[in-house]
């Protein structure tokens, strides 16, 4: 089995080392991550439900793609790699903002991430990896926000935080 490492960073996103991914989540150490939001031409946001077997947050709805860059890989290179690995497509992306968050998750794990948020546009049908994704859909942002308000426990923590930050910064208006 391949041991996956994350890049540990300080609050300025400067690399300070690497650590095995599960260990970083058990110790709640700050590491670099990314979240990708994909919008189609009709204004629908592509969201997916994480595979039930994921190491945390299994079965929860989240943004199109999220993960961690590898040592020696730029964050944007990692975005394109993971879009293909998780969703079976790639698209042009641009980084819009970043933020740090810390959230206690299931399985005794904590996400403490310097999260780089990218946006892309895609109108096709994803070819999802069933090891990563058990369902997906395009949803209007209005309907999404209403469902999160009604059913917040159905969504990942980072997804809810990033959506709030988009509102604060008027990111969705600028798409």
Residue extents of the structural domains in the chain:
5-174
Residue 155 DSSP one-character state: B
Which tens digits make up the pLDDT trace of 11-62?
999 999 999 999 999 999 999 999 999 999 999 999 999 987 776 677 899 9
Write down the pLDDT at residue 2.
Answer: 62
- With a CB cutoff of 8 Å and minimum separation 6, the contacts of 120 are 36, 37, 38, 39, 64, 83, 91, 92, 93, 94
Arithmetic mean of pLDDT over the chain: 90
Write down the pLDDT at residue 38: 96
Count of Cβ atoms closer than 10 Å to residue 85 Cβ:
13
Asked if 123 contacts 131 with a C-beta cutoff of 8 angstroms, the reply is no
Query: Of the candidates 114, 145, 5, 119, which has an alpha carbon nearest to the alpha carbon of residue 70?
Result: 5
Strands (E) across 14-132 are located at: 15-20, 31-39, 44-50, 61-63, 65-67, 93-104, 110-121
In this prediction the pTM is 0.90
CA distance 55 to 58: 7
Give the catalytic positions in this structure. 66, 113
**pLDDT for 86-120, tens place per residue?**
999 999 999 999 999 998 876 778 899 999 999 99
Check whether 122 has a pLDDT greater than 60.
yes
Please check whether residue 61 is in contact with residue 155, taking contact to mean a CB–CB distance below 8 angstroms.
yes
Residue-level pLDDT at 55: 67
Q: pLDDT (tens digit, 9 = 90+) per residue, 145-164?
A: 999 999 999 999 889 999 88
Residue 173 reports pLDDT greater than 50: no
Which of 3.90.550.10, 3.90.79.10, 1.10.3720.10, 3.40.366.10 is the CATH number of 5-174? 3.90.79.10
């Amino acid at each position: 089995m391949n041991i996956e490492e994350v890049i540990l960073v300080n609050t300025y996103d400067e690399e300070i080392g690497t650590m095995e991914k599960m260990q970083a989540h058990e110790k709640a150490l700050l590491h670099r991550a990314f979240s990708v939001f994909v919008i189609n031409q009709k204004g629908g946001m592509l969201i997916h439900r994480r595979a039930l077997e994921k190491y945390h947050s299994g079965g929860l709805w989240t943004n199109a793609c999220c993960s961690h860059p590898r040592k020696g890989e730029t964050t944007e290179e990692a975005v394109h790699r993971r879009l293909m690995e998780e969703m079976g497509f790639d698209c042009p992306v641009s980084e819009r903002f970043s933020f740090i968050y810390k959230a206690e998750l299931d399985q005794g794990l904590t996400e403490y991430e310097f999260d780089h948020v990218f946006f892309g546009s895609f109108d096709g049908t994803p070819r999802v990896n069933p090891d990563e994704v058990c369902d997906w859909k395009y949803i209007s942002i209005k309907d999404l926000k209403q469902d999160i308000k009604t059913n917040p426990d159905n969504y990942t923590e980072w997804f809810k935080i990033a959506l709030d930050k988009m509102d604060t910064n008027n990111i969705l208006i600028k798409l």
